[in-house]
Amino acid sequence: MAKSRYDDRSGPRRNRTGAGRPLARGWASVPMRLVFVTVAATSALVTQFVMHDSGSLPEINLQNLIAPRPVAIAGVASVIDGDTIEIHGQRIRFNGIDAPESAQQCDDANGLHYQCGAKSATALDAFLAASRPTRCTFVSWDRYGRYVGNCRRADGVSVAAWMVENGQALDWPKYSQGAYAMLQEKAKAAQVGIWAGTFQAPWDWRAKHRADNEQPLTIAPLLAVSPSACNLKGNINARGEHIYHMPGQEYYDRTVITTSKGERWFCSEEEAVAAGWRKAKR
């Protein structure tokens, strides 16, 4: 009788053990990288949900968890604006600084408006041209899918540090952890660049105008071919200025849109202005 009761208990136990073996073998066959990525992504999403209302939580970008780490990039840089360049077709955002937007205006020492965003881009272009090539090491991917990096000229001078020290960009504490704060105080004391007059911090300017000139890759995709209703041409000139051309303007027909350079079509002037582009003069 005792043996029979033992057999009755051990039968289900053996069945449960046997049923678990295929599951264990299945988990063993899953690549460890996939397991790690799944766990990390889930943890990040849970953390972001739980701490959504906490101001202490930094932005979580799953691309930084799953995308491979790119190698350093070196080459002749094309200036997009005061804090963004392009090398070999790769858009690169400088780590830890923020420059005035392309359409942003500031006031000079006399209180007169001027295009501080365009001036910042021009200063960067001249600075990079003095010692080529430019070399950038990867830091992270931003929420727009851009390569964020620390860049230096061929002579080793830090591009971000030079831009802040010369008043052409600001230290961005949200991302820099104050790395350029001392250089910014030096520029402020010397009243160079934008510090010679008055201005809005670029991040405040963007918030006020409800647009970030750097459009998210998943929103308002760049159109290679214009639909009939979206016929305004958003062009980026050699100085990095973002200009839109309307049908009937002098340079409209000869303007070619190259989406790989960040150029795009717009469906209305309101849309173009909100994105930080200005109208062509003719």
Q: Can you list the positions of beta strands (E) in 110-268? A: 113-114, 134-141, 147-152, 170-171, 232-236, 242-245, 264-266
Phi and psi dihedrals of 73, rounded to 5?
Answer: -120, 135
Q: Which pLDDT tens digits describe the chain residue by residue (282 residues)?
A: 444 444 444 444 444 445 455 555 555 555 565 555 555 555 555 544 444 444 434 455 666 666 678 899 999 999 999 999 999 889 999 999 999 998 899 999 999 999 999 999 999 999 999 999 999 999 999 887 789 999 999 999 999 999 999 999 999 999 999 999 999 999 999 999 999 999 999 999 998 886 444 444 333 333 333 334 578 888 898 888 899 998 888 888 888 877 767 888 877 888 788 788 899 988
Quote the CA–CA distance of 225 and 97 in Å, as a whole number. 34
Place of tokens 């994105």: 275
Confirm if 103 and 117 have CB atoms less than 8 A apart: yes
Quote the CA–CA distance of 181 and 165 in Å, as a whole number. 9
